[in-house]
Amino acid sequence: MQKHQKISCRLAEKFGHWQESWKQDHVTAEMGASFDDWMHGRVDGLKPGLCTISNATDEKSLPPYRRYVKYSVVVNEPAAEAVAD
């Protein structure tokens, strides 16, 4: 295993542990479910196609050397103006 890959994997694991610890201390189950629903577009009043989810490859030999989920949120200008009002 190359040095960069080893360091990246170690830091990603360390960050994952910190993130889970923080989440347990600061995020209720209801808040987590609400966030997941929003990210997946399952919220009343949310325009279809606002958020797309693509699963990145599980290729462990290329950076970032782990599986991740990529979210893309498209901001529709008229919708953004309606929220601001």
pLDDT at 83: 54
Q: Are 65 and 5 in contact (CB under 8 A)?
A: yes
> What separation in angstroms does the CA of 81 have from each of 28, 31, 40, 85?
30, 25, 22, 6
Spatial separation of the C-alpha atoms in residues 58 and 64, rounded to whole Å: 10
Q: Which two tokens stand for residue 18?
A: 């910190």
- Say if pTM beats, i.e. exceeds, 0.75: no
Q: In 3-state terms, what secondary structure has residue 63? A: coil
pLDDT at 15: 92
pLDDT in tens, 61-84: 777 788 777 777 776 555 545 555
Tell which wins on pLDDT, 34 or 85.
Answer: 34
pLDDT in tens, 20-63: 999 999 999 999 898 888 777 788 877 666 667 776 666 777 77
Spatial separation of the C-alpha atoms in residues 66 and 60, rounded to whole Å: 6
pLDDT at 74: 72
Spatial separation of the C-alpha atoms in residues 76 and 50, rounded to whole Å: 8
